[in-house]
Every structure is written in structure tokens, then in C-alpha cells.
Amino acid sequence: MQLSMALANAADSGGSDEQLMLDYAAGDSGAFEQLYLKHKGPLYRYFVRQIGDRPLAEDLYQETWSRVIKAAAGYQPQAKFTTWLYRIAHNLLVDHVRAVKPVDLFTEVQTDNDSPDIGADEGEPGVSLEEEQKAGLLKECVSLLPQVQKEAFLLNCETGFPARVIAEIVGVSLEASKSRIRYAYQSLKECVASKWEASRE
């Protein structure tokens, strides 16, 4: 019990990521591998859910890690590693999409290749069919959110960042960050309910 609690604390504590990064800077490539495996999924989805163009999302994802690797030699753990990582990702996303589409930012949403198939009955063990279907609807609803709310929601959901950290990453006030998160959840709840009702009729 004590061991499992210690492991959980180590995983949750900000120190372990920073230490892994310092170890990598000292030449331990295994430390980077641990760090990468821990954060690759959430970071990948952060890009994929915001950009409909999957190859572009992969490029930005790869570029983010490339910058982390390049910056490792001069890395100083002044902030949490995850805050730093997502700040790089956010800046890349904003710069890239601004360069490609200066007027209509982030309007590309996920296409219907990934749209949920309500009738499908293949599911995860422990997850009901209704949940599976609603989860599919949610995915579609997320893609319809305004960009700033979508980013705040993804950061909150994927990484568990509180409003304060999200504000730091995207460079807005704490109030604005809280507001974005609240509206995002509210909109998603309404969107899923509406789509669910429509699918039942």
C-alpha cells in the first residue's frame, strides 16, 4: 500500500519529470524515453484534436519534441516540465496556423472520418454501449467548440491542468481561463445531450 502510494506520488509530483529532463541533459537517453512515453499520448491528442489535418498535427507534435530535445542542454527546472512542454506546443500551434491561415484560425475541425458510429457495438470492457456512443458524440462536439475553449478543455482533460496553469500556458488571465473551461464543459454537455436525443429519434 505504502509502495503504491509512493509510486503514485512520484508520478504525480512535478519533480520526477524535471529530474528526468536533467538526467537526459546529463546524457541519459533512457530518461528521455521515460519522459516521452509518459507524455506522448496527451500531447499528440492536444494537436490532433485541434487540427483536422493529421499530418500537420504530427509535424507539430514532432517539432515540439524536437525543441525539447534541443533545449535539454540548457534546461533549468524553473517551471513544471509539463507547463513548459505545453507552452512550446501552444506557441508552435499558434505560429503555424497563423502562418498558414492568418484569418480563419483553427476552423479546420476533425472530419467525419473519425465521427462516431452510433450503431457500432464494438466496445471497451467495462464501458457501456451508451457511454461508447456518447463518447463518440463528445468527440464530434469537441471539434465544434470555439478554438480557445477547445484548447482550454483539452489541456484540462488531457493533462489535468487547473485554470491557473492553463492561463500561464496560453497567456491569458486566470478569469479568462476559468471562463473558457466552464463554457467549454457547458457547451459540450448541451451538444452531447442534443445529439444523443437526435440519434434516439
Partner 1 sequence: MNNKRSEQDMQEIHHLYLVQAKEEPPKSVDAEILALARKRSVPQATTQASKKSGRSPWIWSSAASVLLIVGLSLYWPELQKPAIDGPAMPEPVLMRSPEPMGATEQEALADMPAPSVQKKLRVSSEPGMMKSAEPAADNAMLEIQGMRKQAIMDNTELVQALQRLSTLVEQGKLADARVEYQALAETMARLPKEDPRRVRYEDLGKLLNQ
Among 17, 21, 24, 161, interactor with partner 1 by CB under 8 A:
24
Whole-number minimum distance, CB 127 to partner 1, in Å? 6
Contacts of 78 by beta carbon, 8 Å cutoff, 6+ apart: none
Q: Among positive and negative, which fits the CA dihedral 17, 22, 25, 27?
A: negative
Our finding on whether 38 is near partner 1 (CB under 8 A) is no
Residue 195 found at the interface with partner 1 (CB under 8 A): no
Residue 18 CB-half CA count within 13 A: 12
The only residue of 21, 138, 165, 169 in contact with partner 1, by rule CB under 8 A: 138
CA distances for 140 relative to 15, 154, 174, 184, angstroms: 36, 13, 28, 13
The 10 Å Cβ neighbour count of residue 114 is: 14
Residue 120 is a binding residue for partner 1 (CB under 8 A):
no
Name the phi and psi angles at 107, rounded to 5.
-80, -15
Quick check: 119 binds partner 1 (CB under 8 A)?
A: no
Selected from 20, 85, 136, 195, the binder of partner 1 by CB under 8 A is 136
The size of the chain, in residues, is 201
Which among 159, 173, 13, 180 is positioned nearest to 89, based on CA atoms? 159
**Interface residues for partner 1 in 51-80 (CB under 8 A)?**
58, 61-62, 65-66, 69-70, 72-73
The whole-angstrom separation of Cα 24 and Cα 18 is 10
Among 16, 94, 185, 199, binds partner 1 (CB under 8 A): 185
Stretch of 14-22, 144-152, 163-171, 186-194 contacting partner 1, by CB under 8 A: 186-194
Count H helices, E strands: the chain? 9, 0
Tell whether residue 142 is a contact of partner 1 (CB under 8 A): yes
Euclidean distance between CA atoms 97 and 119, whole angstroms: 35
Is there binding between residue 145 and partner 1 (CB under 8 A)? no
180 contacts partner 1 (rule: CB under 8 A):
no
Q: Which residues bind partner 1 (CB under 8 A)?
A: 24-29, 32-33, 36, 40-41, 44-45, 48, 58, 61-62, 65-66, 69-70, 72-73, 116, 124, 127, 131-132, 134-136, 138-139, 142, 157-158, 182, 185-186, 188-189, 192
